Amino acid sequence: MSNIKPNIVLIGGGGHCISVIDIIENGNEFNIIGILDSNSEEKNILGYKILGGDDLIPELVHKNTYFLITVGQIKNNCPRKKISKVLTKNNAKIATIISPLAYVSKHAKIGLGTVIMNYAVVNAKAKIGKNCIINTMSNIEHDVLIGDYCHISTCAVINGNSEIGSGSFIGSNSTISNNISIKENSVISAGKFIKS
């Protein structure tokens, strides 16, 4: 059996990328070969080389290479969706990253391209869509359904049987009560309590 770790290319070199690098290093599942970011003025991030822009995706697609979108998402998921379309067009393999410091129930389902950050909790029968950010210390309770391209911010709580529509942003320290449905592309400000 081979012990060679698969490679991973990160797309987006901002603050979210920095946090994800730390998680990947601690998880020791992937070998980071570089970052794609055409807007970055840096030559490297935390020691990993900026390889160029998104136009390099086709030539980096390889059977041992995965990709992960590390562009952040605050109120606007369009850049992440655009990158996802390019990856799909090029048949790229998409990584799902779960911090070794997070708790994810074996009865939960996590979509491709989603990142579960440090100390996040995802409880039983929760379903999280594709390309989501479940940020540090957020709590996704039992039977919660989170659509694709959502960002659940730091310390946010989504209580049982609630549904978060695709493309939504749930701000830091906000709380969604039980049995609540949040429509697609919603923005819930930091610290809000949604009970109806």
Give the three-state DSSP class for 188.
strand
Cβ neighbors of 5 (< 8 A, separation 6 or more) are: 28, 29, 30, 31
Quick one: average pLDDT of 147-162? 98
* Torsion sign (Cα): 132, 52, 6, 93: positive
Give the three-state DSSP class for 17.
helix
Catalytic residue among 16, 62, 107, 142: 142
Domain encompassing residue 196: 97-196
Instruction: Supply the pTM of this predicted model.
Output: 0.94
Q: Flag whether 159 is in a domain.
A: yes
Which DSSP symbol is given to 19? H
Quick one: average pLDDT of 171-188? 96
Q: Is the same domain home to 102 and 196?
A: yes
User: Residue 16 catalytic?
Assistant: no
Q: Is the same domain home to 119 and 174?
A: yes
User: CA–CA separation, 51 vs 141, rounded Å?
Assistant: 39
Domain edge (last residue) among 71, 95, 119: 95
Pick the closest to residue 151 from 7, 28, 19, 56 (CA basis): 19
Which DSSP symbol is given to 48? E
Q: Flag whether 160 is in a domain.
A: yes
For residue range 124-135, what is the model confidence (pLDDT) as tens digits? 999 999 999 999
Quick one: average pLDDT of 103-131? 98
For residue range 16-69, what is the model confidence (pLDDT) as tens digits? 999 999 999 999 899 999 999 988 777 899 999 999 998 999 999 988 899 999
| CATH assignment at residue 76 | 3.40.50.20
Q: Flag whether 70 is in a domain.
A: yes
In 5-82, beta strands by DSSP E: 7-11, 31-36, 44-45, 48-52, 65-69
Check whether 171 has a pLDDT greater than 60. yes
Share of the chain above pLDDT 90, in %: 87
- The string of DSSP codes covering 79-137 is HHHHHHHHHHHTT-EE--EE-TTSEE-TT-EE-TT-EE-TT-EE-TT-EE-TT-EE-TT
Count up the domains in the chain and report the number.
2
Which pLDDT value is given to residue 119?
98
Q: Is the same domain home to 115 and 180?
A: yes
| CATH assignment at residue 114 | 2.160.10.10
User: CA–CA separation, 36 vs 137, rounded Å?
Assistant: 27
Domain edge (last residue) among 68, 95, 122: 95
Q: Is the same domain home to 26 and 117?
A: no
